[in-house]
């Protein structure tokens, strides 16, 4: 089911990321459409914002073959994996409640971080969420989306909180020239924003501006 683009987009449009950011982080974060932090040379600031749209989300589920069965029954059921970290569990609970509004039932599975992360590495999940730290180079997209990074065992791979797909080609290394690298990463960000294999929720507010390495 998560292999269907309509389902991924429905889940994304059902999210109220601003409410999540304000409720969990009290103004210390801001919503983002990309993994690349604000002020970064590779960031595409022209990506369309993912505003919550429940009617659109329900229509997408209809189109994907998951109509409302009525009687309070869910259109579909998903498993969401997270660690036992308090913030992670609170986030998963809030997201599950938001998805309930479009008829999606979400079972939260929490484990100690080592067990949880091994499931992620092995592809033993439907959905999961992780908080990335210290992203200073856009080549991080290679780690997340390159086809060889997707676990072979995974029917669908997912990251925070929708299923991942592949980027299709290796990202250029840090020795590439700035303009070429930026063009590549902008294309990747736009493809991810369209296909939504991955939803970026928020990023820490910061005034730092990472510079390209040569």
Total-model pTM: 0.81
Res 148: pLDDT:
60
Res 126: pLDDT:
94
Q: What is the pLDDT of residues 33-46, one digit of tens each?
A: 998 888 888 999 99
How big is the CA angle at 200 (ends 95 and 75), to the nearest 5 degrees? 40
Which of 103, 106, 19, 31 minimizes the C-alpha distance to 60? 103
Give CA–CA dist 93/88, Å, rounded. 9
Instruction: Report, as ranges of residue numbers, the positions in the chain whose pLDDT lies below 50.
Output: 152-171, 174-175, 177, 208-214
Block residue for tokens 């999606």: 104
Res 135: pLDDT:
75
Res 154: pLDDT:
44
Asked whether the beta carbons of 145 and 197 are under 8 A apart, the reply is yes
Block residue for tokens 């210290």: 134
Q: In CATH, what number does 5-202 get? A: 3.10.105.10
Res 164: pLDDT:
34
Q: What is the pLDDT of residues 84-114, one digit of tens each?
A: 999 999 999 999 999 999 999 999 999 999 9
Res 85: pLDDT:
93
Residue 188 neighbours by CB distance under 10 Å: 24
Domain ranges of the chain: 5-202
Res 110: pLDDT:
96
């Amino acid at each position: 089911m998560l292999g269907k683009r309509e389902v991924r987009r429905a889940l994304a449009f059902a999210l109220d990321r601003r409410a999540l950011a304000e409720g969990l982080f009290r103004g210390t974060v801001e919503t983002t459409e990309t993994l690349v932090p604000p002020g970064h040379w590779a960031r595409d600031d022209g990506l369309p914002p993912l505003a919550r749209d429940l009617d659109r989300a329900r229509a997408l589920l209809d189109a994907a073959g998951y109509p409302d069965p009525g009687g309070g029954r869910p259109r579909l059921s998903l498993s969401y994996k997270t660690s036992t970290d308090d913030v992670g569990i609170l986030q998963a609970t809030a997201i599950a409640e938001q998805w309930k509004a479009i008829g999606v039932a979400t079972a939260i599975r929490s484990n100690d971080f080592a067990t949880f992360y091994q499931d992620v590495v092995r592809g033993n999940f439907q959905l999961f969420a992780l908080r990335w730290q210290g992203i200073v180079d856009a080549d991080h997209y290679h780690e997340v989306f390159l086809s060889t990074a997707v676990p072979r065992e995974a029917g669908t791979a997912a990251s925070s909180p929708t299923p991942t797909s592949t980027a299709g080609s290796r990202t250029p290394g840090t020795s590439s020239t700035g303009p070429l690298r930026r063009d590549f990463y902008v294309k990747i960000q736009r493809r991810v924003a369209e296909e939504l294999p991955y939803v970026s929720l928020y990023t820490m507010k910061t005034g730092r501006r990472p510079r390209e390495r040569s």
